A and B are shown apart, each in its own frame.
Chain A
């Protein structure tokens, strides 16, 4: 089943619906995933000793080897996930397609939908506009999903603005997650503070958190397809540039590639899961790639098991 184009997703109704469709689409593509929500997982066999629960004796093993073995289970704890959505002004770029903020919102909403569905505690931190408190603390209740979607909807309606960097938002999260290891997922274009953000991500990873970066860029930013004399106006400030795109394309792409290479290598070196995401790519695909990479990372266990 082909994934939906982000433009088509945008045409759908409410954000919860979009998130559900995206998640279902992604899960359909994840053939081998084991995501049925077993809360108790078999870990290993242990020779029975007095005091062990009899109900845990593996009778099949007794039948085979004539000795008592007790099945030990790994109790899956409730995962705390912090989702960070970059809503700074640079995320406002949309070109002719879906905007970066819009795309990142779908992605974050889908993740929230997926995680809440598994009873995980999901928090949201929207950054960019320093004047607005976009933090939603982690909760595991299904009703919490509404709160999350409401914030995401609100951000989308307000539009991308502000200049708060992802690094600053991550610093706040680091303070909040000091006591408990969490999964931290960041969706941002990193244009405001690329290297600082990568440094913060590595620091969080070093603190024991699972860190995922969705590096969201618009195809226009990746390919720079502009033609003809163009006035480029900054989304973040009042800088302007009148230029012939074909004249400056090579140098721009060289610098962008260098930036992407540097960010990617910093993330990978620091154990941060890095996903370069084009807004032209279906959101389901992005989610699927993420889930697939988690499965590869953790074997057959659920992608976010700790």
Chain B
């Protein structure tokens, strides 16, 4: 223990005062020789000991009081090694930048980082002293909560004590920039920013908040115990993809989860689970080396009767729990709405261009065939709402006017699936002029490979399908040597010209002469497919082979994938979800995962087709209830959506110290700072003195009445 004013300790001699008074008091007591001692001692036998104790206590208490006064005046203090930065005491302006991103929920040795941050922040606030003007800025991305510079430390203490980690990733640079702006308006010469954070590199995006020497002093407080744990362990699910898996039936799905190991050590056989609805349907183990990303694939079947399903992929426990779950809301429609545009309608049923295709897509016209068909002619197209259909088939359609083509092309870009099948009505030049947006490739002239031949010769000269992408979903159902496809003969096929502007063109199948038979391409969010022959018997006899039906159904299902991709429209914490508003909606109620409710109604809905919902502060599934004119709220299952954390914040690997705007780089080292701290003791002794005075009063007054 040391003293600021040791001279005051001279006053400790005052300790002798009560002792002397006590002794003198004893000597000055008069002596009475008394007879009734039994009554005196009888009454005192109980109290004599207490009386002596009282006298002794009073002596001790008074001596301590006399001792405590000079000690308090001497201002004692103790020095100790304390975690945390060296903090200057006195008038100054300081900003505490508190990282409240979800990364600070990381627990290590039973203590979460946010607890350490709060502890350090309170310690710094105390050390700054009451004359310091202090503000608090939070570093989670998109956080608007902040304070102005203030000397109201009591309020700041309450604020810091009540800090809770948000579900957002860190954006430390923005927070530091904000802190610098706050300090720019301060009058104090000494301006300091204290950054209390696990210093994850992902939190320091973009430019440095200020260049060294042109901003306030930055004091970095790393709350991670780097000696014990240089990089906090964290395994996170960063991405989940759901696709149809035709091999598992019409309700089969393939879930692919991307898992990243952000730790500096390997993770071996960590548990990973797939949850569909409320049930865990698959479990597995995943291993990943340090810093590696791995993927885990699950095959599952969606329970029948449910069009929309909640899918969750979750990892076993680790240091940071929030990024161990990924939520997806998937829609698995069994019915594919197909618009068949007949380019060669015929009154004789079997001579109609779509006769075989209709039969293939809706065999036996059964309701469980998986497709809802609507047949139309080109002229009827303008009157049809294309958004009601998932797939459109242009079968032997003459080249359409540009505006019609443009309308269809936009529908495709929005996610529609288009198959163009050719035929006699197709004029390659006309197609190349107007229909290019709908074609994966330009067309050249058709060739009739068996021209002039008959019988077996015609059969021999016909083309056959020889190579197809058997890993492609369209051909996944076929074996490599599927006779149902291979035996089909193509007498006339259209040759293709150069590639158009569409992306991801891919030839899925070729004929024996190497000409493309089936070409796939992507256009916007939709897909195009071009069959270089007909879907009826005019140019081939595929229609009478067993491969025709599954091929057509697979093509249609593949083109309808856009509906499944809805599941990939992920909403991250803090981002907005797009809600569709029906014409008669009077009220929308969104229920968050914690059962809190948000209601949108009245003028906010009137005349709107879509509504942005931004209160996405928690990960999980959000339920949407809509009320129409009747006022009865109804669960709108198709509008439910999932919200996930931004996995950028899961990477807790520390930032390079050189990126921090700290003048003295030795202070910027990532690691827990320690400093010699002076602990003032006189406050405690002064409180003790008060208590002693209180005790003295109680003993003097209370015990005097014994």
Contact = CB atoms under 8 A, between A and B. Distances in A.
Nearest to B30: A230
Contacts of B41: 239, 241
Given A243-B51, A248-B47, A228 B30 contact: yes
A230 B33 CA distance: 10
Interface string B12-26: 000000000000011
A203 to B, nearest CB: 23
B44 A91 contact: no
Given A229-B28, A247-B51, A247-B704, A235 B44 contact: no
A243 B29 CA distance: 9
Interface string B22-57: 000110111111111111111110011001000000
Contact of A232 (B34, B42, B706): B34
Contacts of B51: 243-244, 247-248
A4 interface: no
A278 B36 CA distance: 14
Interface stretch (A36-44, A129-137, A205-213, A250-258): A250-258
A47 to B, nearest CB: 62
Interface residues of A, number: 36
Contacts of A247: 47, 51, 704, 706
A93 B32 CA distance: 10
Q: Tell me the interface secondary structure of chain B in the complex.
A: helix
Interface in A87-110: 89-93, 100
Contact of B35 (A92, A242, A243): A92
A233 B31 contact: yes
A255 B32 contact: no
Contact of A231 (B32, B42, B44): B32
Contact of B42 (A242, A243, A246, A255): A255
A233 B34 contact: yes
Contact of A251 (B25, B37, B38, B43): B43
A89 B36 CA distance: 11
A251 to B, nearest CB: 4
A234 interface: yes
B47 to A, nearest CB: 7
Nearest to B52: A242
Contacts of B30: 228-231
B29 A251 contact: no
Given A241-B48, A243-B44, A236 B32 contact: no
A74 interface: no
B48 A236 contact: no
B44 A248 contact: yes
A255 to B, nearest CB: 4
A149 B322 CA distance: 111
A191 interface: yes
B40 A241 contact: yes
Given A243-B51, A247-B704, A230 B32 contact: yes
Contacts of B706: 247
Contacts of A89: 35
A189 interface: yes
A232 B704 contact: no
A252 B44 CA distance: 8
Contact of A234 (B34, B44, B704): B34
A241 B44 contact: yes
B599 to A, nearest CB: 74
A242 B33 contact: no
A230 B30 CA distance: 5
Nearest to B31: A231
Contacts of A62: none
Contact of A233 (B28, B33, B39): B33
A254 B40 contact: no
A241 B28 contact: no
Most chain A beta-carbon neighbours within 10 Å: one of B42, B43, B706:
B43
Nearest to A218: B35
A256 B41 CA distance: 12
Given A229-B29, A242-B29, A247-B706, A221 B47 contact: no
Contacts of A73: none
A48 interface: no
B37 A241 contact: yes
B43 A255 contact: yes
B39 A232 contact: no
B36 A236 contact: no
A90 B706 CA distance: 27
Contacts of A237: 37
Nearest to B46: A251
B132 to A, nearest CB: 54
Contacts of B39: 252, 255-256, 259
A230 B31 CA distance: 6
B26 A235 contact: no
A240 B47 CA distance: 14
A252 B39 CA distance: 6
A209 to B, nearest CB: 28
A248 B706 CA distance: 7
B579 to A, nearest CB: 83
Nearest to B29: A229
Given A231-B30, A236-B37, 8 more contacts: A191-B38, A221-B34, A229-B28, A229-B30, A231-B31, A234-B35, A243-B40, A247-B51
21 contacts: A91-B35, A93-B35, A191-B36, A221-B34, A226-B32, A231-B31, A232-B32, A232-B33, A232-B34, A233-B34, A239-B41, A241-B41, A241-B44, A243-B51, A244-B51, A247-B47, A247-B704, A248-B40, A252-B39, A252-B40, A256-B39
Interface of A: 89-93, 100, 189, 191, 218, 220-221, 226, 228-237, 239, 241-244, 246-248, 251-252, 254-256, 259
Q: Closest 3 A-B residue pairs measured CB to CB?
A: A251-B43, A90-B35, A229-B29
